[in-house]
Amino acid sequence: MRSLFTILVVCLGLNSFAQDAYQRYTTVYSVEGSIAASFAGLDVSPTFSIYRNSSKVDIGLNIKVFDIWKDGPGIMGTYLSYKYYPNPRDREFNLYFGYHNIFTTHDKGKKFKRVYDNSADGFRSPDKIYLLENTVGIGFDYQAGNNVYLFNDYSVGVALDWETFHDSETIFEIRSTGLIRLGFGYNIPSTGKGK
């Protein structure tokens, strides 16, 4: 955490506080890092983003640090989001509406067996577990510098959880979920022409 704070302070010191990156280029590329808390657990997501014409697409990895329903740390997956900015991103504070899709999977089920099996007269664990969270909501970003910004999201939606067993049985659950994300981003300097 200390190194992350040091990197952020150095990046802030290297950038001017002008908000003209979104006015100079038609497409802006950036890298982001975020921490997300949902009803399914705690995630860390490094992402790559493309911003163009009031729309932004993020794609990256999703690393589940703590999973409430399943095995715990170390579950990896994907993160995909779409954000729409109703106003140009040339202000210090910017509002956006977003859709977030988080998909995780892993080979072993719970550490603690959770499904009762009548034929074996005991509990068993799934062989493979999939979790898909789809949320929509609102967010804000703060332009801390020409290339650095901070953001947070608040969204609600559904989580789809399905588990497969060695005998081809599948258990499917739908749950409501909420998502809160907090992170920072860095716009990759572009040498392209303006609009």
CB 177 within 8 A of CB 157: yes
Output the pLDDT for position 18: 35
- CATH assignment of 2-187, among 2.40.160.20, 3.30.450.20, 3.50.50.60, 3.40.1380.10: 2.40.160.20
Output the pLDDT for position 123: 65
Strands (E), the chain: 27-38, 41-52, 55-67, 75-84, 93-106, 115-117, 122-124, 128-143, 148-164, 170-187
Instruction: Show pLDDT as tens, one digit a residue, over the chain (195 residues).
Output: 565 444 444 444 444 433 444 555 578 899 999 999 887 788 899 999 999 888 999 999 998 887 765 555 557 889 999 999 998 777 788 999 999 999 988 766 555 456 666 665 666 677 777 889 999 999 999 988 878 999 999 999 999 888 777 767 787 889 899 999 999 999 887 755 544
Please give the Cα distance from 58 to 139 (Å, whole number): 14
pTM listed for this prediction:
0.75
Q: Which of 75, 82, 81, 79 is nearest to 60 (CA)?
A: 79
Please give the Cα distance from 64 to 105 (Å, whole number): 10
The amino acid present at 5, given as its one-letter code, is: F
Count CB-CB contacts under 10 A for residue 192: 9
Please give the Cα distance from 4 to 37 (Å, whole number): 19
Please give the Cα distance from 14 to 38 (Å, whole number): 34
CB 142 within 8 A of CB 132: no
Give domain limits for the chain: 2-187
User: How does 144-173 read in b/e, with b if 16+ C-beta sit within 10 Å?
Assistant: bbbbbbebebebebebebbbbbeeeeeeee
The angle formed by the CA atoms of residues 178, 52 and 8, to the nearest 5 degrees, is: 65
